[in-house]
Structure 1
Amino acid sequence: MRKTAVYKYVAGLLCFGAIVSGCEKDYLDVDPTDRVSDAAILTDSVLFEAYVVNRYLGAKVIGNEGDAYQPGFGRGFEYAMWSSITDESIYNNDDNSWLVQQGQLSPENLGMAGAVWSRSYRSIREVNYALTHIEELEMSTERTERLRAELRFIRAFRYHDIIRNYGKAVLIGDRVSSLDDDLTDPFWFDRRPIAECMAYVLGELEEIAPGLPLNNSGEYPEGRATRGAALALKSRLALYAASPLYNDGAGDSQKWAAAAQAASEVMDLGIYSLYPDYQELFTAESSNGEYIFARFYNLNARHLALEIANGPNGYGGWGGNIPLQNLVDDYEMEDGTAFSWDNPEHAEAPYENRDPRFYATILYNGASYRGRSVETFVPGGRDSQEGNDNWNTSKSGYYLNKFIREDLPIINPWDVAGVQNWIYFRYGEILLNYAEAQNEAVGPDESVYSAVNAIRNRPGVEMPALPEGLSQSEMRERIRHERRIELAFEEHRFYDVRRWMIADETENEPAYGITITKNTDGSLEYERKTALEGKSFSEQHYWLPIPRTEILASDNQLEQNPFY
């Protein structure tokens, strides 16, 4: 059967549109629908459920945001990924990312980060519309409650996006604005304290989790909220709520304990496990035991073709999200020791004997790829500026390997590639959430070691266990390092360095790359270079500015973030 979903678009928090358009997706079976009215949605339970399911998507608001071709629940595989406004990578050809890297964010221009506020509140209003009218539909109590819980999960996810990007949020409850409302009412623009916002969203997730199924199956296929998804979102938010950024620069021991408990609730479900192949985890088309909540793609709903968008220029790729030397240097040696350019053995062969996750994540000079070795050296390297399509040459000397599949084409990938799934929550994150929170709450007990070592020891990675006897501060640094490596390019680094309040250090480091010179005798020389000039971070950048258009639309009632 043809699988179709229904999109409902509205003009934002304070406007309403009555048109619903159809678009093919992979996780809902309904009759094909082109255009339907609000009245039809509210009298047809199948159309209403289609409306609910499509709240897992988001309108494409700006430029390439919205997952290029198909609107995504969050961002996912856009041209410039969220990693490219951190010290993980830069986007080779800008795509409105450089102004963020260079500290030029302003309420008038947020670059690639400009859609979060409007997309989130648009979705919240759409959810509230459905919650307001759900009792009008003739459905079983069980189905009604399931859909209600899904809607509240989606709303919680949107609030999580607002809180982690802007801090204080406008909490509008279940209200749905209309043109008959007094839109000068301060209610619509009252940004509440962060603690209140966190308490509201965490409370929502705690309430709805029991009403969601453990697994999606039958008429509720993959891609829809489960109990684990709600608890995973609760775990992430609880971790943020305990972190220094959310507590005036200091962690909160009681909140850390609550965050550890929240992660434990996911672990205690007993249905998730670490996938034994780190690289395949991100390239498989099907689900696996590490997935908790993901966006699934199929042949009728592809995303951006990652292989051409991020591939080396010598293969016909565009460079895309290119890893920085800053990240490359942080991958340990396979024996668990730190890599150092001051170590002659390391400096002579910097890409040998590294953490296996390095090879699964980074394409480097000499890496085996599509039948030959990557050549970023000069002179003559086929993937250097002296190779083909040199305008797409990596500015850092590296290319992305995470998420990339060699069985999908680089040349002419259209209607063929773009079928990888984007994982929003996975079990590896939960283990690291638990380890961090538990260490902050009580110190590095056995359970902390167990969680981190499980990540390091998974089959195919098999890094040495952490040394015994670490202090709390030493374990803190180890856990932060593990998050950097394990979760690279998965949209965590941007928020991690901010919530830890170390972004003024990490994001003021130059964006480094490497120049590799091949001598006539075949030996290689390595010289660090700056891949993007002007990298800068200031105090105000701990939060995004609220777009000026939103401030003006509120008649200046909406409070702007500090220093903007």
Structure 2
Amino acid sequence: MKKYIYTLAAVAVLSFAQSCKKDSEFLDKKPTSTLAVDAVWKDPNLVLSVLGDLYDTFPDFQRTESWWLFADFDEGFASAGGDYFRHQNIDYSYDSWNYWDYGYIRQLNLFLKRGEEATELAAADKARLIAEARFIRAGVYFEMVKRMGGVPIITVPLEYDYSGNPEYLQFPRAKESEVYDFVIAELEAIKTILPDDAGQKARATKGAALAMETRAALYAASSAKYGYSQLSLPGGEVGIPASAASGYYTKALNAAKELINGGKYSLYTKNPNLSENFASLFTDKANNPEVIFVKDYKLKTNRTHGFTIDNQPRSSAEEAQGGRLNPSLNLVQSFEKLDNTYASLASVDGSGNTVYYTNIGDIFAGRDARLAGTVILPGSQFKSKTVDIWAGYQLGDGSIVTGNAFAQTRDNVLPGITGSVQVVGGDGPVDGLEFSAQSGFYVRKYLDPAPGSGQIGTRSEVWWVRYRYAEVLLNAAEAAFELGDAATAAQYMKPVRDRAGLTTALTAANISFDRIVHERKVELAFEGHELWDMKRWRIADKVWNGSNMSTTDFVNATNIGSATRTSTQVFGLWPYKYYNPGNVNNGKYIFKVIKPSRVTAAHRFRLGNYYSMIPQGVLNGNPKIVRNPNQ
């Protein structure tokens, strides 16, 4: 009651005070929570705050804020009950990866218009802010064209005149090539306006513009070279003539060379342990020479993400959760041996006999160092704690003793031993037990080693890397190879492979399309490249072809290095302790190739998936928009 009386009194006092003012003064009162547009464009710091919101909306498909999207293809298994469906759908939808965001384009165009009209900013500030907005807009158009094909190119803010006739606001789709040309031209135009500052990671720089340019030109080139005739439209809205491929490859190579020769960036090589070095590349923000452009996070500003909470090893987790993203055997087996050869992880020998290992990690010895920098392997460490991944005991008669919970113990289950015995690892794997390492692995890349990063109250400030120097080197290698210069391609690939411990350099004769595909697969895993690479090379329908797989596809496989190797279902590799007292192999480890029971269907990518479906609402609102080939 007292609170009610006090509220009425406050209202009465406020009303009395306001009644003493002239009506015009009261109505002209300025808001305190917003600023007028003109006021913003007088202060570069206020303009930057607006631009910060535009940066924050920059489109990413896969990212650390959505771990589950990395389980949509063959890189990982979703060890979370609500996400098992990702391994139980046969076909990808035609509107998968759809992106058509002209609301965002309008915001950028309005920003640019107001920037051009601003008169009270210093010339250098104004030029940089406008260039940054053009960089973001180029990135948005790049995202749309790689998903949708040609889209309308709108560079001014459109205003409806309420005449009842919206036709003047209806633009047709540009050719796919025209959108790529627009993106490349914009980046060329602004690269010298942006600061050439490798220390700036979260804002556009010359390096970021060149990195985006080389990627965009490479996508256009490969789409032209490998495009299917059935994936084209008469007006060029979809499909780039094959004759344009060489020109785009040349642009991709030139942009990459300009960035490389500029000397501002280099590969990250701070840690002598090559696997730890590769993992640290994604978490070390202190003078990181490789990272070019990121989405950043800061603990002090309460801008964090939960990737480490979601994916930390379950046995040593700082919260009672983790382990959701399990890398697949499909990916793990792709990492080659240090002699540049491909080989299955040897669970059996060439005659089909079980291979026994003294230490649980021995099966992974002699492999590309990026493997342990990308994947948490059984017996490895995270945050100074050993990850406890093993599936149970195999007895001498071949029977299995295991459990259905983390670190479960059972009584009197091993011959000759009385009492409780742990029969499964603290991280599993247990089939169907979410958060356990159901594939036999946990993800390492982007996992934050800082104390507290796995706690809900703290979370992680590890950045999401959109562009980095190693990709630019691989872009240059691919472009050079496609232009017929395999020797130069080998030179660009060499430092990336050297860092991974692959010290026998590839020669020009070793460089092939398969090698190009392989190198990107292992270097860029869990970085959001796999889908777009498969699409632009037009091999997605061959790799994700709807065919079921079996353990024989992983045991003594002979086609691991093939770019078009079928990879439709996620498999795993489970370690077991061998228990057979008196046998020479007692106490050693054996491994079994498995398919998680929640993997019930094979992914199938159809020709129609190469270009996403244009939303029906867009088609209804603009009759000038031509449907994609799959509609």
Alignment of 1:447-458 (within 5 A): 447-458=488-499
Give me the whole-angstrom Cα distance separating, in 2, the residues matched to 1:514 and 1:179: 63
Q: 1:272 aligns with which of 265, 268, 272?
A: 265
Secondary structure at the aligned position of 1:537 is classed as: coil
Q: 1:344 aligns with which of 341, 345, 349?
A: 349
Shift in Å at residue 530 of structure 1? 2.8
Q: Name the residue aligned to 2:428.
A: 384
Q: Name the residue aligned to 2:89.
A: 102
Give me the whole-angstrom Cα distance separating, in 2, the residues matched to 1:182 and 1:450: 61
Q: Name the residue aligned to 1:22.
A: none
1:467 aligns with 2:506: yes
Give me the whole-angstrom Cα distance separating, in 2, the residues matched to 1:340 and 1:385: 21
- Report the CA distance shift for 1:559/1:82 in structure 2 as closer, same or farther (over 3 A): farther
Q: Name the residue aligned to 2:520.
A: 483
Shift in Å at residue 356 of structure 1? 0.9
Q: Name the residue aligned to 2:589.
A: 524
Matched letter for residue 289 of structure 2: G
Shift in Å at residue 182 of structure 1? 6.6
Give me the whole-angstrom Cα distance separating, in 1, the residues matched to 2:68 and 2:263: 32
Q: Name the residue aligned to 2:563.
A: none
- Report the CA distance shift for 1:136/1:74 in structure 2 as closer, same or farther (over 3 A): farther
Matched letter for residue 318 of structure 1: G
Q: Which moved more, 1:134-143 or 1:35-44?
A: 35-44
Give me the whole-angstrom Cα distance separating, in 2, the residues matched to 1:178 and 1:394: 55
Identical aligned residues as a percent = 28
Q: Name the residue aligned to 2:335.
A: 331
Q: Name the residue aligned to 2:538.
A: 501
Shift in Å at residue 480 of structure 1? 1.6
- 8 Å CA contact 1:511, 1:533 repeated in 2: no
Give me the whole-angstrom Cα distance separating, in 1, the residues matched to 2:321 and 2:87: 24
Give me the whole-angstrom Cα distance separating, in 1, the residues matched to 2:459 and 2:76: 23
- Report the CA distance shift for 1:158/1:183 in structure 2 as closer, same or farther (over 3 A): farther
Matched letter for residue 544 of structure 1: S
Q: 1:134 aligns with which of 107, 115, 131?
A: 115
- Report the CA distance shift for 1:89/1:142 in structure 2 as closer, same or farther (over 3 A): same
1:54 aligns with 2:53: yes
Shift in Å at residue 375 of structure 1? 1.4
Q: 1:360 aligns with which of 365, 369, 373?
A: 373
- Report the CA distance shift for 1:245/1:530 in structure 2 as closer, same or farther (over 3 A): farther
Alignment of 1:107-118 (within 5 A): 110=96, 113=97, 116-118=99-101
Q: Name the residue aligned to 1:310.
A: 311
Q: Name the residue aligned to 1:21.
A: none
What per-residue deviation string (whole Å, max 9, x for no partner) do you get for residues 156-194 of structure 1?
011111111222222112233446487742754522211
Which of the pair has more CA radius of gyration?
2
Matched letter for residue 117 of structure 1: W
Give me the whole-angstrom Cα distance separating, in 1, the residues matched to 2:166 and 2:355: 63
Give me the whole-angstrom Cα distance separating, in 1, the residues matched to 2:169 and 2:88: 35
- Report the CA distance shift for 1:128/1:181 in structure 2 as closer, same or farther (over 3 A): farther
Give me the whole-angstrom Cα distance separating, in 1, the residues matched to 2:218 and 2:196: 23
Secondary structure at the aligned position of 2:630 is classed as: coil
Q: Which moved more, 1:492-501 or 1:84-93?
A: 84-93
Q: Name the residue aligned to 1:290.
A: 290
- 8 Å CA contact 2:226, 2:536 repeated in 1: no
What per-residue deviation string (whole Å, max 9, x for no partner) do you get for residues 483-516 of structure 1?
1111111111111111111112222322222343
Matched letter for residue 260 of structure 2: M
1:80 aligns with 2:117: no
Q: Which moved more, 1:193-202 or 1:256-265?
A: 256-265
Secondary structure at the aligned position of 1:191 is classed as: coil
Secondary structure at the aligned position of 2:572 is classed as: strand
Shift in Å at residue 75 of structure 1? 5.2
Q: Which moved more, 1:539-548 or 1:88-97?
A: 88-97
Secondary structure at the aligned position of 2:526 is classed as: coil
- 8 Å CA contact 1:80, 1:97 repeated in 2: no
Q: Name the residue aligned to 1:395.
A: 438
Q: Name the residue aligned to 2:408.
A: none
Shift in Å at residue 234 of structure 1? 0.5
Matched letter for residue 448 of structure 2: R
Give the TM-score of the pair, scaled to structure 1: 0.81
What per-residue deviation string (whole Å, max 9, x for no partner) do you get for residues 501-554 of structure 1?
1112222322222343333233434332334332222111222323444444x2
- 8 Å CA contact 1:512, 1:530 repeated in 2: yes
Give me the whole-angstrom Cα distance separating, in 1, the residues matched to 2:64 and 2:165: 36
Alignment of 1:171-186 (within 5 A): 171-178=153-160, 180=162, 184-185=166-167
- Report the CA distance shift for 1:176/1:158 in structure 2 as closer, same or farther (over 3 A): same
- 8 Å CA contact 2:315, 2:387 repeated in 1: no
- Report the CA distance shift for 1:211/1:542 in structure 2 as closer, same or farther (over 3 A): same
- 8 Å CA contact 1:166, 1:546 repeated in 2: yes
- Report the CA distance shift for 1:376/1:126 in structure 2 as closer, same or farther (over 3 A): farther
Give me the whole-angstrom Cα distance separating, in 2, the residues matched to 1:183 and 1:514: 62
- Report the CA distance shift for 1:350/1:437 in structure 2 as closer, same or farther (over 3 A): same
- 8 Å CA contact 1:102, 1:537 repeated in 2: no
Q: Name the residue aligned to 1:25.
A: none
What per-residue deviation string (whole Å, max 9, x for no partner) do you get for residues 86-116 of structure 1?
3212333377795598354446x74xx45x3
Shift in Å at residue 135 of structure 1? 3.2
Give me the whole-angstrom Cα distance separating, in 2, the residues matched to 1:230 and 1:259: 12
Secondary structure at the aligned position of 1:442 is classed as: coil
Structure scoring higher RCO (CA < 8 A, sep ≥ 6) equals 2
Shift in Å at residue 195 of structure 1? 0.7
How many residues matched?
503
Secondary structure at the aligned position of 1:518 is classed as: strand
Give me the whole-angstrom Cα distance separating, in 2, the residues matched to 1:453 and 1:41: 49
- 8 Å CA contact 2:448, 2:460 repeated in 1: no
- 8 Å CA contact 2:323, 2:437 repeated in 1: yes
Q: Name the residue aligned to 1:492.
A: 529
- 8 Å CA contact 1:82, 1:494 repeated in 2: no
Secondary structure at the aligned position of 1:425 is classed as: strand
Shift in Å at residue 48 of structure 1? 2.5
Matched letter for residue 527 of structure 1: K
Matched letter for residue 343 of structure 2: F
Q: Name the residue aligned to 2:458.
A: 416
Give the TM-score of the pair, scaled to structure 2: 0.73
Matched letter for residue 56 of structure 1: Y
Matched letter for residue 502 of structure 1: I
Q: Name the residue aligned to 2:613.
A: 545
Secondary structure at the aligned position of 2:461 is classed as: coil
Shift in Å at residue 39 of structure 1? 5.2
- 8 Å CA contact 1:79, 1:309 repeated in 2: no
What per-residue deviation string (whole Å, max 9, x for no partner) do you get for residues 342-401 of structure 1?
6739965532221111011111222223422331423212211559x9432233221101
Matched letter for residue 332 of structure 1: E
